[in-house]
């Protein structure tokens, strides 16, 4: 009976891990940013990426935007954020090979 419980627990954990494909990381916005019409101040923020969307959170301020996650050939040594005016267009995640491309959301702004 105990073997079945342990096997069930291991399988449940594997299924839960596979189902949760949300990626989370922190960034430091070095200048104010606007995402989908929502203004963010310079400073620490958190990003969650799942199902082709990124959710940026800074305190109680939250915005969602469609993104495309690309895989670079090499790991990024530092997190880099590319701005166009005050809009974030790209983020290279430090310590990984993730390149996040923010989709144009001009219609929502």
Give a yes or no: residue 47 inside a domain: yes
DSSP 16: H
Q: How many domains does the chain have?
A: 1
In a domain, 62, yes or no: yes
Residue 61: name the closest of 34, 38, 30, 87 by CA: 38
Decide if 9 is inside a domain.
no
Residue 42 lies in a domain: yes
Query: Does a structural domain hold residue 90?
Result: yes
pTM listed for this prediction: 0.74
Domain that holds residue 60: 22-108
Decide if 81 is inside a domain: yes
| Residue 8, in any domain of the structure | no
Q: Is the Cβ–Cβ distance between 69 and 99 less than 8 Å?
A: yes
Q: Report yes or no on 66 lying in a domain.
A: yes
The 10s digit of each residue's pLDDT in 28-62 is 999 999 998 999 999 999 999 999 999 999 999 99
Is the Cβ–Cβ distance between 78 and 55 less than 8 Å?
A: no
């Amino acid at each position: 009976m105990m073997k079945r419980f342990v096997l069930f627990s291991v399988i449940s954990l594997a299924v839960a891990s596979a189902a949760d494909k949300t990626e989370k990381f922190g960034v430091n916005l070095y200048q104010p940013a606007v995402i989908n019409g929502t203004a963010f101040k310079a400073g620490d923020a958190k990003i969650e990426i799942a199902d082709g969307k990124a959710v940026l959170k800074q305190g109680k301020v939250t915005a969602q935007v469609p993104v495309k996650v690309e895989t670079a050939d090499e790991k990024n040594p530092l997190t880099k954020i590319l701005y166009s005016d005050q809009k974030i267009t790209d983020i290279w995640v430090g310590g990984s090979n993730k390149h996040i491309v923010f989709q144009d959301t001009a219609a929502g702004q």
